Chains A and B, each alone.
Chain A
Amino acid sequence: MTVEQIVFYVFATLTIVSALGVVTVRNSVQAVLCLVLTFFSAAVLWMLLEAEFLAVALVLVYVGAVMVLFLFVVMMLDVDFASLKQGFTRYVPLGILIAIGLLIGLYWVLRGELFGLEAMPEPAKHAADYSNVESLGMLLYTDYFYAFEIAGVILLVSIVAAISLTFRGRRERRGQSVPSQHRASKDERLHIIKMDAEVAQDDESETDDLEKAVGEKSGRTKGESS
């Protein structure tokens, strides 16, 4: 057994064990830390494949940024995980059954012959001066520039979406809001309780408004007004 194989088996086992830990440990902070460990060991596996850039990016982006954010959220939000796990055991037998079924199905479909060493021979080792980042960059900015640009647009859309969904303006501001004043309709301020008022036949617009106001009140769902 070569050193590489030993490293592979050690970290492959670690990946699986820590991934199992993510879903089994009770403490949610420990679960997040288990996920960090999973990413780390996966990064080592990538390193073995000579994909140094991806390995570093995984550690920097996932471990450094995403998981730290995740840890913040878990610590700051008072999520009652015990109550979330209510009814968990009830579905365990069914869940295990489905998992085993899926595992057998996947094994049957993805048997060794397709992804074994015959079908996918070991890639040749690169020389010491081979730069992973350089070749990745060459591909990304030439062959895949179209996809790269679209991915950038997707990130832009996610920023626009997140801001437009959460931004509510400065809250401490006491000034008047002209657009909301313009949009305010009579039936938001005025509540007409009694219905059987006599209305002249020719005065159509008044009938209109009155009925509208009453219709609004009965049909409108709660929390509509801003």
Chain B
Amino acid sequence: MNIDLMPMLPELFLLTATCILLLIDVFSKDFDRLQTYRLAQLSLLITGVMVIAQFPDLQYHLYQRHFILDPMAGIVKVSVIALSMVGMMFARPYILQRPILRGEYFILHLFAVLGMMVLAGGGSLLTLYLGLELLSLSLYALVAMHRHSTLASEAAVKYFVMGAIASGFLLYGMSMVYGVTGKIHITDIALYLETHQASLTLRFGLVFMVVAMAFKFGAVPFQMWVPDVYHGAPTSVTAFIASAPKIAAFALVIRILGYGFEQVLIDWQGMLIIMATLSIVIGNLVALAQDNIKRLLAYSAIAHVGYFLLGIIAGTGAGYSASFFYIITYAIMSLGGFGCLIYLAKGKQEVELISELKGLGQRNPWGGLLISFLFLSMAGIPPFVGFWAKLEVIRAVLDVDLVWLAVLAAVMSVVGLFYYLKVVKVIFFDAPESEIKVKAERGLRLALGITGVAVVALGLFPAQLLEVCRQAFQYL
């Protein structure tokens, strides 16, 4: 038997590179771990080039259909790798100043990326689950990396327990689906549903799977862990878990709901509508009351998950591509939003409260401007990309005649404006309390610059990315 391993070359390369890096790191005498960091970035770069070099134009089901290679998987992989590279640029100066600096930080980062790539290309319930576990396990360890911090330990335990429960739910749901259909491949389940009536047991399994995915996303009513974990985790880890894994989780949702359970759209649509409504309302309203920036961003993340679900609720190719566009742009904004806290940190002293940003625009005009770009984009104000993302998902919902949902989403985004603009106001219109200039490293400035410029550039020219997202769903 002859198997062509080329299609999964990026995954194989990343795995091999990570294992070699693990060995290099153990024997490295480099105290600053600069070597490990550079090699990790290099291996991500090469993996990204490999993904782009064999970017698929069709949908291939390979390796006994456990592995799917299609444009969607390609885009997810490329964006995940790009975001992880920027995430590591944010992380290095941060962990350098804290007792987190260990080579394993970057290695677990790479393993998380590998998990996300597996998730993006998962063709069966089994590989999807394993990819998710690989991703989650690396993230749990990253959150717990800061051993001396009680907040971080608490966050790690919460994240771990919640994640384990969610995985249990997912497996339970999958086992029921398998019990009824006897199939483990996404395409087989879709075929089964075309010829058979969906039984009660199958729907019951579906409920469990939807709940598990909501847990992983942090959609209301399964959002309890989000603020605590985002707040307690080291900021560089928060920036990472709030960005790239969301795109991977999107791939999970599309593979299971969009490809596998498309026939029973009506069953999961209702659940998602409830979760999206609650997420948008509760996320935005609770965010209004937050003083702590990390918690504010955490609640805003919950609200954004609600918006992102709108496109999936539509259940059409256009809706999925709107959601895809939304989640990619949100991941960029979220990475920049948490990254700016690293950028602003003075030594070990981190920015905690919004009031600490007072007069940043005068102390550091460029930094203040980039940070404002990110917040304005999250608010959904026109020249920035966040506006197009919101517009697309609301249009997708209008296309399937859920007018009330679109109106609610629009109204709540106006409410959301308040707290985003509050931050911008504090940056530019409040008198500075101190004259200290922000002195960030070059890598940090570059990383913040990339996210800030990306938000503006994609906002001015959204057409290309939108077109790419549309092409990803031409096989549905």
- Chain A interfacial positions (CB closer than 8 Å to B): 108-110, 114-115, 142-147, 150-151, 153-154, 156-158, 160-161, 163-165, 178-180, 182-183, 185, 187, 207-208, 211-212, 215-216, 219-221, 223-226
- Compute how far the CA of A212 lies from the CA of B31 in the bound complex, rounded to whole angstroms: 26
CB-CB under 8 A for A221 and B151, given A114-B199, A179-B101: yes
Interface on chain A toward B: helix, strand, loop, or mixed SS?
A: helix
CA distance A187 to B349 in the complex (A): 11
| Known contacts A157-B111, A161-B108: A114-B118 contact under CB 8 Å | no
Residue among B15, B108, B347, B435 with most chain A CB within 10 A: B347
B96 touches A183 (CB 8 A): yes
29 contacts between A and B (CB under 8 A): A109-B200, A110-B176, A110-B201, A114-B179, A144-B64, A146-B64, A147-B66, A150-B118, A150-B127, A150-B134, A153-B15, A160-B104, A160-B107, A161-B137, A165-B147, A182-B31, A183-B97, A183-B101, A212-B347, A216-B347, A216-B348, A216-B349, A220-B348, A220-B349, A221-B151, A223-B149, A224-B348, A225-B148, A226-B99
Which chain B positions have C-beta within 8 A of A187? 347
Given the complex of chains A and B, what is the CA–CA distance between A173 and B126 in angstroms? 46
**Known contacts A143-B64, A182-B31, then 18 further A-B pairs from the complex at CB < 8 Å, ordered by chain A residue:** A110-B176, A114-B179, A115-B179, A145-B63, A147-B130, A150-B130, A154-B133, A156-B19, A156-B111, A158-B137, A160-B107, A164-B108, A164-B145, A165-B145, A179-B32, A183-B96, A212-B346, A225-B148
Q: Which residues of B contact A180 (CB under 8 A)?
A: 99
Q: Beyond A153-B15, A220-B349, is A146–B31 a contact (Cβ under 8 Å)?
A: no
Whether B114 lies near A153 (C-beta < 8 A) is yes
In the bound assembly, the distance between CA atoms of A13 and B397 in angstroms comes to: 53
Cα A151 to Cα B19 with chains together (Å): 15
- Residues from 67 to 109 in B contacting A, C-beta threshold 8 Å: 67, 96-97, 99, 101-102, 104, 107-108
Contact A146 B102 (CB under 8 A): no
B201 touches which of A114, A150, A161, A207 (Cβ 8 Å): A114
Q: Which of B22, B126, B130, B199 contacts A154 (CB 8 A)?
A: B130
Whole-angstrom distance between the Cβ of B91 and the nearest chain A Cβ: 15
Of the residues A165, A182, A211, A212, contact of B141 by C-beta under 8 Å = A165
Please indicate the chain B residues that have their CB under 8 angstroms from the CB of A225 in the complex: 148
* B145 near A211: Cβ-Cβ < 8 Å: no
B347: which of A160, A165, A185, A223 is its contact (CB, 8 Å)? A185
Give the residue name and chain of the A residue nearest to B126 (CB): A147
A212-B108 CB under 8 A given contacts A150-B118, A153-B15, A224-B148: no
**A158 to B138, alpha carbons, bound, how many Å?**
8
Q: List B residues 1-41 near A (Cβ within 8 Å).
A: 1, 8, 15, 19, 22, 31-32
Query: Does B368 belong to the interface (CB within 8 Å)?
Result: no
- The answer to whether residues A164 and B111 also contact, given A146-B127, A150-B131, A183-B96 and a CB cut-off of 8 A, is no
Residue from A108, A145, A163, A223 in contact with B150 in the complex, judged by beta carbons closer than 8 Å = A223
B434 CB–A CB distance under 8 Å: yes
* Given known A-B contacts A153-B15, A179-B32, A161 and B436 have beta carbons under 8 A apart: no
Q: Do A161 and B64 touch (CB < 8 A)?
A: no
Give CA–CA (A225, B127) in the complex, Å. Answer: 42
Inter-chain contacts of B434 with A (CB < 8 A): 211
Distance between Cα atoms of A219 and B96 in the complex (Å): 20
B144 within 8 A of A: yes
10 tightest Cβ-Cβ pairs between the two chains A and B? A161-B141, A164-B104, A179-B31, A226-B99, A150-B130, A109-B204, A143-B64, A146-B66, A147-B126, A157-B111
Chain A residues within 8 Å of B19, by CB: 156
Tell me if A154 and B144 are in contact (CB < 8 A): no
* B interface residues (Cβ-Cβ under 8 A, vs A): 1, 8, 15, 19, 22, 31-32, 63-64, 66-67, 96-97, 99, 101-102, 104, 107-108, 111, 114, 118, 124, 126-127, 130-131, 133-134, 137-138, 140-141, 144-145, 147-151, 176, 179-180, 199-201, 204, 346-349, 352, 434-436
Q: Which residues of B contact A215 (CB under 8 A)?
A: 346, 349
- By a CB distance below 8 angstroms, the chain A residues around B22 are 160
A109 to B203, CA, bound (A): 9
A220 — which chain B residues lie within 8 A by C-beta? 348-349
CB contacts between A and B, total, < 8 Å: 117
Cβ-closest chain A residue relative to B1:
A142
Q: How far is the CA of A10 from the CA of B1 in the complex (A)?
A: 46
**Residue contact B138 to A157, C-beta cutoff 8 Å:** yes
Bound CA span A34–B102, Å: 42
Closest residue to B64 on the A side, CB-wise?
Answer: A143
How many Å from the CB of A71 to the closest CB on chain B? 22
Residue of A nearest to B151 (CB): A221
Q: Which residues of B contact A219 (CB under 8 A)?
A: 349, 352
- A147, B124: Cα distance in complex, Å: 10
Q: Which of A146, A160, A165 contacts B67 (CB 8 A)?
A: A146
Cα–Cα, bound, A110→B202 (Å): 10
Kindly list chain A residues whose C-beta atoms are within 8 Å of the C-beta of B114: 153
- CB–CB B201/A164 < 8 A: no
- Name A212's contact: one of B104, B137, B436 (CB within 8 Å): B436
Contacts A153-B111, A185-B348, A216-B349 given: A146-B134 contact, CB under 8 Å? no
Instruction: Find chain B residues with CB under 8 A from A143 CB.
Output: 64
Give the shortest distance, in Å, between A56 (CB) and chain B (any CB): 23
Instruction: Tell me the nearest residue of chain A to B118, going by C-beta.
Output: A150
CB-CB under 8 A from B200, the residues of chain A are 108-109
Distance between Cα atoms of A208 and B31 in the complex (Å): 28
The reply to whether B96 and A151 contact each other, CB–CB distance below 8 Å, is no
Interchain nearest-CB distance for B105 vs A (Å): 8
How far does the alpha carbon of A114 sit from the alpha carbon of B181 in the complex, in Å? 10
Bound complex: CA of A68 vs CA of B127, how far in Å? 31
Among B102, B127, B144, point to the contact of A147 (Cβ < 8 A): B127
Nearest A residue to B97 via CB reads: A183
On chain A, the residues within 8 Å of B436 by CB distance are: 208, 211-212
Cα–Cα, bound, A182→B97 (Å): 10
- Give the CA-CA distance A190 to B131 in the complex, in Å: 48
Q: Is B147 a contact partner of A161 (Cβ separation < 8 A)? A: no
